[in-house]
Amino acid sequence: MIMIFGKPLLLLYGQLTLGLINGAFYALLSLGLAVIFGLLNIINFAHGALFMLGAYVAWALLEYLDIGYWPALVLAPLIVGVFGVVLEKTLIQRLYKLDHLYGLLLTFGCALIIEGLARNEFGSSGMPYAIPEALRGPLDLGFMMLPAYRAWVVVAAAGMCLLTWLVIEKTRLGSTLRAATENAKLVQAFGVNVPRLITLTYGAGAALAAFAGVLAAPIYSVNPGMGSNFIISVFAVVVIGGMGSILGSIITGFGLGILEGLTKVYYPEASATVIFVVMVIVLLARPAGLFGKA
């Protein structure tokens, strides 16, 4: 057997694959954060709560309306997206002229409310959510047996990231968006309804979080705290990638997932801290992040 640093190569391949899957969640979540930050200049602390909400909506659709995984994958992001729009219209909109930190504080408050309500309504120990029928069972990759669902997670997440990137970089809507980020007044003068654009962007970011939530529901415990466990790591990913950089957050998300996977093999005790260590190093070397503009 080929060994690398005392670990069998095959095991390592397996761990890299798993890291990629985790990276998929990081990428999806940090992508949403980056989109929202880019246009709204708001650090969306409620992102973890929206992620959790996505998983709960999927669960509720199944429980009360008998709507399965596949429709939920579309419906839950839509529902949470609408919720995001309402949130933006009623609360976040009032903050654009103020310092960034008020946005952070407001969304932090929203996260507390959403989490607290979920705990009151559904209890703390979480809900069961089964893997969809079509994706049960393993895939033989040669070096490991990968559950088919995990493979789907990577494909779906990568696809969604690519789609978002294409929309922002290659379409007319995307170029309007980017222009509005640069100079909102000018874009408005061209007859674009910028406030509506902003609202929709927040909704889209929320929907991305919810999409990740639905993907996560069958493999992670669906409980009120599931988002807040993730969110701080995701913040670090965004800082490393460069705030507001779409491509940066995608690449960093996947990359850090893999790095974390490797740490789990060589020194598992540090696997939670490794992201923050990288963050510190990156900040020292490139304060604007790997892909950010200084």
SS3 state of residue 145: strand
Identify the residue among 68, 78, 126, 188 touching another protein (CB under 8 A).
126
Rounded to the nearest whole angstrom, what is the least distance from the CB of residue 167 to another protein in the complex? Answer: 25
**Using CB under 8 A, which of the segments 66-74, 157-165, 179-187, 271-279 binds another protein?**
271-279
How far apart CA 111 and CA 100 sit, in angstroms, is: 17
Contact status: 86 vs another protein (CB under 8 A):
no
Quickly count: other Cβ atoms within 10 Å of residue 124's Cβ: 10
> At 227, is the secondary structure helix, strand, or coil?
helix
113 binds another protein (CB under 8 A): yes
- DSSP lists the bridge partners of residue 138 as 147
List binders of another protein among 147-166 (CB under 8 A): 147, 149-150
Looking at residues 2 to 21 of the shown chain, list those that interact with another protein (rule: CB under 8 A).
8, 11, 14-15, 18-19, 21
Q: How far apart are CA 161 and CA 164, in angstroms?
A: 5
Does 172 help bind another protein (rule: CB under 8 A)? no
Residue 47 binds to another protein (criterion: CB under 8 A) = no
**Which tokens belong to 106?**
């407001």
Identify the CA nearest to 30 among candidates 276, 243, 282: 243
Question: Is residue 112 a contact residue for another protein (CB under 8 A)?
Answer: yes
Q: Please count the residues of this chain forming the interface with another protein, following the rule CB under 8 A.
A: 78
Interface with another protein (CB under 8 A), residue from 3, 71, 94, 293: 94
Q: Which stretch binds another protein (CB under 8 A): 70-78, 167-175, 182-190, 265-273?
A: 265-273
Restricting to residues 129-148, name those near another protein by CB under 8 A.
130-131, 138, 144-145, 147
- CA torsion angle 252 254 257 263 (round to 10): -80
- Whether 213 and 50 have beta carbons less than 8 Å apart is answered as yes
